[in-house]
Amino acid sequence: MNMLLAEDDQKLGKLVKYVLERKGGYHVDWVSNGEDALDYARGSAYDVLILDWMMPGMNGVDVCKRLRAASYSQAILLLTAKDALQDKIFGLDAGADDYLTKPFEMDELLARLRVLTRRNFAPVQSDLVTFGPFTFNRVSHRLSRRGEAVLLSQREYQLLDFFLQNNGNVLTREAILDRVWGIGSDVSYKNVDVTVKMLRDKLDDAHAEPAIHSIRGVGYRFEA
């Protein structure tokens, strides 16, 4: 499962990311401010957002409000040192699904995430996805066109999976780079464009509409 962690405390953020990945088995993207959290949530498919309330610039509650106003339906967990009942009510009324007060035990965080993912939401995609003449197996990493295998590199597989999870949505080059290559990677947007072109060529089919559309100055939209 994919999670977004927004936490400006570098020590805590590093620890939470480590625990969630090692003990929880989650894939975690970590940002340190509300603006990035909003951009990542809009441009990527996450099962849960973990938002620190007090962050520089836009805070976690503001991010939560904006996402809910845009009909964002995935789970949101707020982290905060505010422990007054009225603060908890305010956070929940802003659209959070749960609330965890700092300092907290990592085992409690993991337990709350298990509850949210169990209660909340079905997988973003099934393991077998069909679009046009193609069938994509997310478990075996195999793509076929009318029963014939189409070979994908690991990057192309990750890119296609990301596109399918965000079918119909515009994805920025930055969002694609961070998800496929990882935050902090030293590759450039040119790598993104080249990989998109290679995948587009493999999805080219004379009997089907193009699936990947370029959005000038922004990124790409996949429509299956």
Q: Look at residue 85 and tell me whether its pLDDT is greater than 90.
A: no
Between 65-79, 107-121, 139-153, 193-207, the lowest mean confidence (pLDDT) is in 107-121
**Do both 66 and 98 map to the same domain?**
yes
The CATH number linked to 26 is 3.40.50.2300
**Do both 65 and 152 map to the same domain?**
no
**Do both 10 and 84 map to the same domain?**
yes
Q: What's the distance, CA 4 to chain centroid? A: 6
Based on the structure, what is the number of domains in the chain? 2
Integer Cα distance of 207 and 205 in angstroms: 5
Which pLDDT belongs to residue 124? Answer: 45
Which pLDDT belongs to residue 200? Answer: 93
Contact 42, 85 (CB under 8 A): no
Domain containing 80 equals 2-120
Integer Cα distance of 100 and 78 in angstroms: 6
Name the domain boundary from 120, 136, 169: 120
Which pLDDT belongs to residue 6? Answer: 94
Q: Look at residue 224 and tell me whether its pLDDT is greater than 80.
A: no
**Do both 24 and 89 map to the same domain?**
yes
**Do both 133 and 86 map to the same domain?**
no
**Do both 40 and 18 map to the same domain?**
yes
Of 139, 152, 206, which is closest to residue 180 (Cα–Cα)?
Answer: 152
**Do both 88 and 52 map to the same domain?**
yes
Between 78-82, 117-121, 161-165, 171-175, the lowest mean confidence (pLDDT) is in 117-121
Residue at 16: amino acid letter: V
Name the domain boundary from 63, 85, 120: 120
The tens digit of pLDDT for each residue in 88-134 reads: 788 788 888 888 888 888 999 998 888 787 654 444 446 788 888 89
The CATH number linked to 146 is 1.10.10.10
**Do both 13 and 115 map to the same domain?**
yes
Name the domain boundary from 77, 97, 120: 120
**Do both 87 and 188 map to the same domain?**
no
**Do both 110 and 181 map to the same domain?**
no
**Do both 110 and 159 map to the same domain?**
no
Helix, strand and coil content of the chain, in percent to the nearest 5, comes to 40, 25, 35
Q: Could you give the strand order of the β-sheet that contains 212-215, starting from the edge strand earlier in sequence?
A: 170-172, 219-222, 212-215
Mean pLDDT value across residues 10-29:
90
Between 54-63, 73-82, 113-122, 129-138, the lowest mean confidence (pLDDT) is in 113-122
Contact 82, 99 (CB under 8 A): no
The tens digit of pLDDT for each residue in 166-198 reads: 888 888 888 888 778 875 667 888 999 999 999
